[in-house]
Chain A
Amino acid sequence: MKNNISAWELKQIEAKPQTLKSKLFDWLVSFMPILMALLVLLQYKLVPNKKVLISFKVYEPTNLYAWFIGVFLAAFAGLFIASLFSKKVFGKWRNAAPLLTAVFLLLLAYDFATLKARLLHATYFPAIDDILNALIAERAQLWINSRHSLILLFTGYFSGVIAGLFCGILSGYIKKVRYWVMPLIKVLGPIPANTWLPIILVLPFISLFQGAVFIIALGVWYPVTMTTMNGVINIPMHNYEAAKTFGVGKLSMIYKVAIPASSPFIFQGLTQGMSIACTVLLIAEMMGVEAGVGWYINWQRGYADFAKVYAAIVILCVTFFAVNTMLNAIKNRVLRWQEDKV
């Protein structure tokens, strides 16, 4: 046997040999998403819709949803064929297939419960086709508002992170600072940041945007300070001592030892802070800030235009998902030195 095999080859060699039955099962599972997408498409086109009035009009679905499903169907078929030729593609596709099958099963059920049988209230539960159309019709509004939300989110988040890192590192590192910061943390920490919204948003000398930034930053500041401080306090003494024997001074010790050694804790705070920031952002936008996706949702709810509400929620999901994925990627990159990360 040759010595320089790749990790992929190694996995193949060490994998259990497959029986005919398990192979057949694998292929069946990886075919399921195609079947399910096809069913969704067929139901949508062939089963008659139950007619309802929405906003005093008879609701007529468009072909957009059919195209939408069609694109997925084509992609699935493409991947399925590719997986016939490449074991790597097959591995990934086989892994994703059950989840995709479940998602399309859900779509099938939702279509049935809305368009086809109207088991759910037509106003509050619009058809997916309706939501897709709202996404396209409202793209300009959605774009402007998501941009506003993102700017607010990141301004608040980074202000909070900077303040939190500053407080956390200093109060972890210097006992005297901890003496003064600790009471502040203990008093302010447990109160959800948005509690202060009604007060901050009516303050005369700051804008709504600045007020919201402050509230988000406050929400982020707390977990980042806590985790960073704990991280710095709990760094094993020998790290400092080793650095000391190389003549590292008290100040450079902070960024050469304290920050990297406590980075796993810091990232815990950054992740918690992000989810708090997202929550506070939406609350702020729904309670006072006059722009952003949260505000848009509230506004469209006023007109009972739920397709647009759902469209905005879809945008929120995608955005928050992207932001958190990014944060996770950074975290995994920075913390690759950790034992359990490999």
Chain B
Amino acid sequence: MSVKIESLTKIFAKQIEEGTLTALDNINLEIKDGEFVSLLGASGCGKSTLLRIIAGLEIPTQGAALFNGERIEGTSPKRGLVFQEHTLFAWLTVRQNIEFAAKATKRLNSRTEISNWLEVAGLTEFADNYPHQLSGGMRQRAALVRALAVSPEVLLLDEPLGALDSFTRMHLQDELIRLWKGRGNTMVMVTHDIDEAIYLSQRIVVMSPRPGRIAKILEVRMSYPRNRAVGDFTALRTQILKLMDFAQDVQEEYTI
């Protein structure tokens, strides 16, 4: 067992008014070693918060998050996180960004190893560019390989392909599967995209908002590489859509 969430609740203090907001309510989840799990749900249902708790960036209000049996306290290079907004260091080039991660985690990646990562990201030509000189997709690819370069046991991905066009997206999805199969690490990915969740993950955690709860956990029993057109795939999609509809019912008071 790799990551275990035990009746975890996270409450935030509201920044403007007095009062609090329950972002996650009594979450129970076990993620096995080497598993690929997706967190799927509407905006604001606490997906990022859950990921940040596993990364060690937020402290649970109640309950606990465990990693390899130990309570998670603070960050660790064993639990890598790719943020929702790309968070390359603006003052470093792509290559230096990867070097930063490698050095900080004392994994003294050789120059060729870093070049390999650049190759994986398809950024060899842009190795010496600063983040603002890259396209949005290039930045996300760079952030992705920067996290991968330190080979974490668990890779936490917060909508890593969110801002990409569908072609690049599909290409990177295959790339993600290839990397995951190659390294055998645990993957926890947040996504808005139902197809992406089905295409990539072994289990899909469907969440509902306000307060953030787990609505259902679905297993995807198709072998990789998956075909988006087969009946199993579309059946699962329909099932999730129904679940999400339920999730949206709760939100109705906020829509027009």
Which residues of A approach B to under 8 Å, CB–CB? 238-239, 241-248, 252, 256-257, 260-261, 263, 336-339, 342
> Are A248 and B104 touching (Cβ within 8 A)?
yes
> Are A247 and B105 touching (Cβ within 8 A)?
yes
| CA A231 to CA B75, docked complex, whole Å | 25
> Are A241 and B87 touching (Cβ within 8 A)?
yes
Proximity bits, B98-112, A CB within 8 Å = 1, else 0: 001100110000000
Residue of A nearest to B131 (CB): A337
Partner of B104, one of A246, A260, A261: A246
Partner of A247, one of B76, B87, B133: B76
Is B90 engaged at the interface, CB distance under 8 Å to the other chain? yes
**Which B residues between 52 and 97 are near A, CB-CB below 8 angstroms?**
55-57, 74-77, 79-81, 83, 85, 87, 89-93
> Are A238 and B87 touching (Cβ within 8 A)?
yes
| CA A339 to CA B130, docked complex, whole Å | 9
> Are B77 and A246 touching (Cβ within 8 A)?
yes
Q: Evaluate whether A245 and B89 lie within 8 angstroms (CB atoms) in the complex, with A256-B104, A339-B132, A342-B133 already known.
A: no
> What chain A residues lie within 8 Å of B87 (beta carbons)?
238-239, 241-242
> What chain B residues lie within 8 Å of A263 (beta carbons)?
91
> Are A245 and B100 touching (Cβ within 8 A)?
no
> Are B89 and A260 touching (Cβ within 8 A)?
yes
**Which are the 10 A-B pairs with shortest beta-carbon distances?**
A246-B104, A242-B87, A260-B91, A244-B75, A337-B130, A339-B132, A247-B77, A238-B87, A337-B91, A245-B81
> What chain A residues lie within 8 Å of B147 (beta carbons)?
245
| CA A336 to CA B101, docked complex, whole Å | 21
- Tell which of A246, A257, A260 has the most Cβ of chain B within 10 Å: A246
| CA A50 to CA B100, docked complex, whole Å | 72
| CA A245 to CA B75, docked complex, whole Å | 5
- Closest CB-CB distance, A135 to chain B, in whole Å? 44
> Are B83 and A337 touching (Cβ within 8 A)?
no
> Are A241 and B83 touching (Cβ within 8 A)?
yes
- Closest CB-CB distance, A21 to chain B, in whole Å? 39
> Are A247 and B104 touching (Cβ within 8 A)?
yes
> Are B133 and A242 touching (Cβ within 8 A)?
no
Residue of B nearest to A249 (CB): B104
> What chain B residues lie within 8 Å of A239 (beta carbons)?
87, 89
Interface size on B, residues (CB 8 A): 28
- Closest CB-CB distance, A231 to chain B, in whole Å? 12
- Closest CB-CB distance, A239 to chain B, in whole Å? 7
17 pairs across A/B with beta carbons < 8 Å?
Answer: A239-B87, A241-B75, A242-B87, A242-B89, A243-B100, A243-B104, A244-B75, A245-B81, A245-B147, A246-B77, A246-B104, A246-B150, A247-B76, A256-B104, A261-B90, A336-B130, A337-B130
| CA A338 to CA B56, docked complex, whole Å | 30
Residue of A nearest to B102 (CB): A246
Q: Is the interface of B mostly helix, strand, loop or mixed?
A: loop
Q: Evaluate whether A245 and B77 lie within 8 angstroms (CB atoms) in the complex, with A256-B104, A337-B91, A337-B130 already known.
A: yes
| CA A212 to CA B147, docked complex, whole Å | 51
- Tell which of A248, A256, A337, A342 has the most Cβ of chain B within 10 Å: A337
> Are A246 and B100 touching (Cβ within 8 A)?
yes
Residue of B nearest to A236 (CB): B87
| CA A260 to CA B97, docked complex, whole Å | 13
> Are A256 and B100 touching (Cβ within 8 A)?
yes
- Tell which of B81, B87, B130 has the most Cβ of chain A within 10 Å: B87
| CA A244 to CA B80, docked complex, whole Å | 10
> What chain A residues lie within 8 Å of B150 (beta carbons)?
246
| CA A280 to CA B74, docked complex, whole Å | 48
> Are B55 and A245 touching (Cβ within 8 A)?
yes
| CA A247 to CA B131, docked complex, whole Å | 22
> Are A257 and B57 touching (Cβ within 8 A)?
no
Proximity bits, B111-131, A CB within 8 Å = 1, else 0: 000000000000000000011
- Closest CB-CB distance, A137 to chain B, in whole Å? 50
- Closest CB-CB distance, B127 to chain A, in whole Å? 14
> Are A245 and B91 touching (Cβ within 8 A)?
no
> Are B132 and A244 touching (Cβ within 8 A)?
no
- Closest CB-CB distance, B178 to chain A, in whole Å? 23
| CA A128 to CA B38, docked complex, whole Å | 79
| CA A239 to CA B88, docked complex, whole Å | 8
> Are B89 and A246 touching (Cβ within 8 A)?
no
| CA A339 to CA B132, docked complex, whole Å | 6
Residue of B nearest to A244 (CB): B75
- Closest CB-CB distance, A100 to chain B, in whole Å? 36
Partner of A246, one of B56, B57, B92, B101: B101
> Are A246 and B105 touching (Cβ within 8 A)?
yes
> What chain A residues lie within 8 Å of B131 (beta carbons)?
337
> What chain B residues lie within 8 Å of A245 (beta carbons)?
55-57, 75-77, 79-81, 147
| CA A261 to CA B87, docked complex, whole Å | 12
> Are A247 and B85 touching (Cβ within 8 A)?
no
| CA A257 to CA B55, docked complex, whole Å | 19
> Are A244 and B101 touching (Cβ within 8 A)?
no
> What chain B residues lie within 8 Å of A338 (beta carbons)?
90, 132
Proximity bits, B188-209, A CB within 8 Å = 1, else 0: 0000000000000000000000
| CA A120 to CA B5, docked complex, whole Å | 87
- Closest CB-CB distance, A265 to chain B, in whole Å? 13
> What chain B residues lie within 8 Å of A337 (beta carbons)?
90-93, 130-132
> What chain B residues lie within 8 Å of A248 (beta carbons)?
104
